[in-house]
Amino acid sequence: MLIALPGIQARLGDTLAEAWSNLRSQGRRSALALLGIMIGTASIIAMLNGGHMAQRESLKLFAKLGVDMLQIGSAPTGDRPALLSQAAIDALARTDPDVIEAVPLANGRAAARTGGRTADIAILAAPPALATLANLRLAAGRHPAAVEECALSGVLGDAAARALSGPAAAVGPGSAVLIGGYGYTIVGVLAPVVPETLDPVDYNMAVLIPLHCARRIIPDGGPTGLLVRLRPGADTQAASERITARLATPDAKLTVLDARSILRTMQEQKAVHSRMLIWIGAVSLLVGGIGVMNVMLMSVMERQREIGLRAATGATPTDIRILFLLEAVLLTIAGGAIGSALGAAIAWVIAHSSGWDFALAPWTLALGPAAAGGMGLVFGLYPAITASRLNPIEALRAD
């Protein structure tokens, strides 16, 4: 009906130029009709980019460890310590098809003291594998991995090292620090670590020591938790159930943090907000579309003589339909473009006030004008058809 006629392509350029100049002459009224389209596009673009950034931010919480990760902790159920079986943990990777690696952990707290300075720090006892699993990089020194017998050596977190450093004496590899009353030698200092959801301790304010030497400083000494890396895409829910069953003891109550479930919960909460904003956007677009239809109908009524004259000079009903349809589409695309810019600005404000990094999903910027243009096409159709069906004689006589 609209496209498949010869010669139309050749005329399209002229029609486009005319449609544009007609719109400009409509001025303020066009602008008013655009308001709804602009608000609709802006809220949809803001919402999509807000969601995009929230997604990036939530993924950041799992950047080090990834999302195929479980953190399991144990709490005592009675008087006896909530110790887990090291042998059972070591067996997991071998026997459970979804487990790639299981790293036992024990933790405690102690006061660290050196050169007259004191800091309350966490103690994390773990096998050397933790450094690789959690991607812990050293700023200086080495991991105590190579230490065979239980020398009292540890790696300090970045903030802990700075808290213990004096103006003259920086704490670093080789420093002696009294931790929980034991004289430890610091063999390395960690680079600053961005905290994540599944971190067993705040690495920055901790000292890392080998697990097999934990008995000295952590009461009971054995593992009270573990980090489990699962096969990518594994069913984390099922895996965590199997693992907790394997590790169950009457003395401990196990709690599981499942990266994927946490992420899912966050996204579900977000989805509720998104749906609401999408509805607001859709309703505004609809209202805007009706506004555009109104403006176009008024324009058709006012320009009857022009329509009649065009018909007299040889414009077919199709030509006239295209002229008005193009005007509606141009109008809404312009509104969509402004709305997109507005939406991007709102997304920036959201990012700024939430402390997120600002990032736009490029496809959303194209989506704004495209969706608005679609509205123009839909709501412009009726006025365009009205214009093309005017009787030329009556149109020429109109005033």
Partner 1 sequence: MLRLESVSKYYAAPDRAIAVLDEVTLSIASGEFCALVGPSGSGKSTLLNLIGLLDRPSSGTLWIDGEAVAGCSAHESARLRNRLIGFVFQSFHLLPRLTAWQNVALPLQYRGVPRDAQRAAAEAMLARVGLADRTGHLPGQLSGGQSQRVAIARALVGAPRLLLADEPTGSLDSSTAQDVMALLAALNAELGVTVVMVTHDRELAASCPRQIALRDGRVLGSGSGTC
Residues that bind partner 1 (CB under 8 A): 7-8, 10-11, 13-14, 18, 21-22, 25, 305-306, 308-319, 392-393, 396
Nearer CB in complex with partner 1: 22/71: 22
The secondary structure of residue 391, as a DSSP letter, is -
CB of 9 to partner 1, least distance (A): 8
CB of 399 to partner 1, least distance (A): 10
Nearer CB in complex with partner 1: 19/208: 19
Contacts with 385 (C-beta within 8 Å, 6 or more apart), sequence order: 321
Nearer CB in complex with partner 1: 264/305: 305
* CA distance readout (Å), 70 to 66, 91, 188, 229, 249: 10, 16, 27, 7, 19
CB of 333 to partner 1, least distance (A): 21
* Helix or strand holding residue 358 (H, E): none
Nearer CB in complex with partner 1: 244/318: 318
Give CA angle at 218 (212, 224), nearest 5°: 75
CB of 299 to partner 1, least distance (A): 13
Contacts with 306 (C-beta within 8 Å, 6 or more apart), sequence order: none
Kindly tell me the burial class for residue 346, based on how many C-beta atoms sit within 10 Å of its own C-beta (0-12, 13-18, 19 or more).
middle
CB of 20 to partner 1, least distance (A): 11
CB of 325 to partner 1, least distance (A): 16
Nearer CB in complex with partner 1: 21/77: 21
368-382: burial string, b at 16+ Cβ within 10 Å, e else: bbebbbbbbbbbbbe
* CA distance readout (Å), 233 to 72, 98, 99, 259: 19, 9, 11, 12
Residue with tokens 């200086």: 140
- If one counts every other C-beta atom within 10 angstroms of the C-beta of residue 116, the result is 8
| β-strands 117-126, 153-156 pairing | unpaired
Nearer CB in complex with partner 1: 25/237: 25
| Distance, CA of 397 to CA of 399 (rounded, Å) | 7
CB of 17 to partner 1, least distance (A): 9
The secondary structure of residue 356, as a DSSP letter, is P
CB of 316 to partner 1, least distance (A): 4
Strand, helix or coil for residue 157: coil
Nearer CB in complex with partner 1: 180/392: 392
Nearer CB in complex with partner 1: 267/318: 318
CB of 397 to partner 1, least distance (A): 9
Nearer CB in complex with partner 1: 301/359: 301
| β-strands 138-141, 225-230 pairing | unpaired
